[in-house]
Amino acid sequence: MAPELRIVGDRASVARWRASHARQVREANFLGRLPSSAAENEIANARLLILPSIWFEGFPMVLREAFAFGTPAAVSDSGPLPRIVEDGRTGVVFRAGDHESLLHRVRTRLGSRGRRCRKCRTSANRVRDQVRREGELRAAHPYL
């Protein structure tokens, strides 16, 4: 049995995706826009966060949140994302815009490991340390 696909967000692209894929993805649960605490709860309880970006993204907040909760991530190979997520360790990387690649990598990830992984907890600690260092740097040098 496939895990439930839970989609959080309320952007026009989500609405377009929902309209065009509703028949193929009957198990999808479109949660819409959620308050921060509810969105964080979804991330914390997810087996895998999927970030299917097809355009350049720096270091998205949702990815930082996933790492903070120890949730592995599946990211596209667009921009710096594959350098942030360690393929096979803290998540998986798939080809941007290629649903077959996404499906294969997600199946591999969900089939080979449990809900959480030790490497993901290590990433959570690394992200917390990085955020702390960035805060200290800003406090010491507010004009950077």
Domain positions in the chain: 34-140
CATH T-level assignment (fold) for domain 34-140: Rossmann fold (3.40.50)
Say what the pLDDT of residue 115 is.
Answer: 45
Angstrom distance (rounded) from CA 84 to CA 65: 13
Tens of pLDDT, residue by residue over 77-120, are: 988 898 889 888 889 999 988 888 988 888 887 775 544 555 55
For the segment 1-21, the average pLDDT, to the nearest whole number, is: 72
Q: What is the pTM of this model?
A: 0.70
Kindly list the distances between the CA atom of residue 121 and the CA atoms of 15, 39, 44, 73, 133, in Å, as whole numbers in the listed order: 33, 19, 12, 12, 18
Tens of pLDDT, residue by residue over 22-74, are: 666 667 788 888 899 999 999 999 989 998 877 777 888 889 899 888 899 99
Give the Cβ contact number of residue 90 at 10 Å.
23
Kindly list the distances between the CA atom of residue 98 and the CA atoms of 61, 71, 75, 102, 113, in Å, as whole numbers in the listed order: 23, 23, 12, 6, 23
